[in-house]
Structure 1
């Protein structure tokens, strides 16, 4: 077996990417029409939900998500599959979609740990910018949790319609049943001032322990909108045990994708304690807790970045921007005094 042919969950990468197969439901007129509407009417931020689902679908040897392909749609599945095939052909050191796979698995593992902790038992879970997220259907650790998915009304409507079509067409509905204690979708724009009020009307309890998930959303917001959301969540630490799971881009990363990304933080492990979180743990893609056996080439981009000081904006070896993605877990509680319990930081 070559160095490139990594075995994950019993499948080599070459085997995993060999053939692109679509579920029958994607060929139905109703679902094809829905995805055609997404292509015509959704903006870059909304369509990113389908791109993320495509990553989960095509990295299925690492992530078990039977609903991902039908939520992603044919366009995004084909686009990512073509990139993956090209990477395999060129013996690339990192394969397209690996960031999405590692990010998904990191959020899954951190969420499970948070819910299994003493403070996390029966906690609420709120996904801001939920998109095509399927954690409520995938993760049994949510069995005692009330889950809230917050996103644009059109995104949630499309998601609900596709999932209902999947349920109607399937003989085995097991993977289409929510594993959470309850699942509530809340139509709201977190850039507006009323999203928290809408969340409370839907049943969110401000005094109840809560895990907040912000996956792949902060960097699409403006600096002011992102900080407004983060401050709202930090203020919850004074009310109840609060856990934040989020990913942050550094400044060089915002130069990607034609400046679609706006908010950045080079030092989120300093930013979050400054607004009210007591404990912060930061990881980079490729760290021991953000690896999952998917980044085995020691010379891949992520391992090279981890060997450089975080203060560097450009790589001294080749002058390329040091584009980093930080995976951050932060928490706080009313009984914790920030002056006595400083941030716990891992770099």
Structure 2
């Protein structure tokens, strides 16, 4: 019998019907999500949009808390996009980039934990954590202290939603922490005090650390993005460090004129200039960044991989070459910036 996770995600039954958990219709959860929809700006709501994508691709992301954190409105909107793609027999279903990105970060984080873990507790810092649930779903974090850094209203809302999941109800999955420790750090990484707040929450610069910057850098100004990367690079001279980040190229930021700011066409050159070493870059569709989700050989991601990175416009059809780079870099006390 074929395992459901091994089947093509572009076909039924995954998206034949949107089935939402009963927890979303409880009074407490509905009030919290109503506040999100009425009070949060687009930047803050992007955390719930990301959770919706992970929820609807949970047959590969295994994110069982994502539905709760996304909410009915965002789940319905994302589902409608997927249904439209399936109806039109699109080569790339909405959310596939998000699913691949999630799996890439998960796999690289697991490898980094295996590399850096020793007798001491490993530190894992998620900048712009949003509605991330890795502390609850990745077994590899059992000897890790996870720090989630984000705006106060995001982390407070996340904590309130997760609290609703702990209320005893019939036929409800028990929420279990996988990480050894979890600290939520209320800070705006666009400011210059987030590192001090991180230290106050228990972060020790001299301990081995994995930094995760998933879906965050392009929301920052160029100045703020470089400052964040330089800050991490400076501390990589104190201890073994792994940085996992994704970068948009310039055409990608044009997709949302009001939201995306920072871009980098050559992150594998930028990071060494800041002090990182052993930089490895992947594009969606590369052997380590497709996870069996891009089976159509004519999908746009495979085509992009055949076009030189210096080219911004597809020479065949004139469409922008929108790229997302997945980058892993390391640092150690033996290398100075």
Q: TM-score range by the shorter chain?
A: over 0.9
User: Which residue of 27, 31, 34 corresponds with 1:33?
Assistant: 31
Q: Which runs of 4+ in 1 moved over 6 A?
A: none
Report matched runs for 1:100-249 at 5 Å. 100-117=98-115, 119-121=116-118, 122-170=121-169, 175-249=174-248
* Mapped contact 1:120–1:210 kept (Cα < 8 A): no
Q: What CA RMSD, in Å, does the superposition of the two structures yield over aligned residues?
A: 1.6
Moved more, 255-264 or 321-330: 255-264
Look up the match of 2:328: 329
What is the correspondence of 1:290-301 to structure 2 with a 5 Å cutoff? 290-301=289-300
Tell me, what secondary structure is at the counterpart of 1:319? coil
The answer to whether the 8 Å contact 1:218/1:226 transfers is: yes
Q: Which has the higher mean CA deviation after the structures are superposed, 121-130 or 140-149?
A: 121-130
CA distance in 1 between partners of 2:67 and 2:6 (Å):
19
Is the CA contact (8 Å cut-off) linking 1:66 and 1:175 kept in structure 2?
no
Q: Name the SS for the 1:306 alignment partner.
A: helix
Q: Which residue of 1 aligns with 2:82?
A: 84
Give 3-state SS (helix, strand or coil) of 2:148's partner: strand
SS class of match (2:301): helix
| Deviation (angstroms), 1:29 | 1.6
What is the CA deviation profile of residues 35-61 of structure 1, one whole-angstrom value per residue up to 9, with x for unaligned ones? 111111112221111111111110121
Which residue, 50, 61, 64 being the options, matches 1:66?
64
Report the 3-state secondary structure (helix = DSSP H, G, I; strand = E; otherwise coil) of the residue aligned with 1:168. Answer: coil
Return the alpha-carbon distance in structure 2 between the equivalents of residues 33 and 277 of structure 1.
45
Unpaired stretches in structure 1, ≥5 consecutive residues: 1-6, 339-347
- Equivalent-residue separation in structure 1 for 2:266 and 2:18 (angstroms): 40
The correspondence of residues 249-264 of structure 1 with structure 2, limited to 5 A, is 249-264=248-263
C-alpha change, 1:50 and 1:266, in structure 2 (3 Å) is same
Instruction: Tell me: CA distance 1:170–1:226, structure 2 relative to 1, closer, same or farther (3 Å).
Output: farther
Residue 19 of structure 2 aligns to a residue in which SS? coil
User: Structure 2: how far apart are the matches of 1:214 and 1:133?
Assistant: 11
Alpha-carbon separation, structure 2, partners of 1:92 and 1:326: 23
Paired residues of 1:25 and 1:169 also in contact (CA < 8 A):
no
Aligned-pair distance for 1:8?
Answer: 4.0
Q: Is the 8 A contact 1:8 1:293 kept in 2?
A: no
Structure 2: unaligned runs, 5 residues or longer: none
Q: CA deviation at 1:22?
A: 1.0
1:297-342 C-alpha deviation (Å, 9 max, x unpaired): 111111110110000011101111110000000101012478xxxx
CA–CA distance in structure 1, aligned partners of residues 192 and 175 of structure 2: 33
Size of the alignment, in residue pairs? Answer: 332
- Post-superposition shift, 1:151? 0.5
Q: Are the aligned partners of 2:275 and 2:336 in contact in 1 as well (CA < 8 Å)?
A: no
Q: Distance in 1 between matches of 2:171 and 2:83?
A: 31
* Alpha-carbon distance in 1 for matches of 2:149, 2:172: 24
Task: Flag the 1:183–1:77 CA change in 2: closer, same or farther, 3 A.
Answer: same
Check whether the contact 1:167–1:173 (CA below 8 A) recurs between aligned residues. no
Query: 2:236 aligns to what SS in structure 1?
Result: helix
Q: Does the CA-based 8 Å contact 1:248-1:327 persist in structure 2?
A: yes
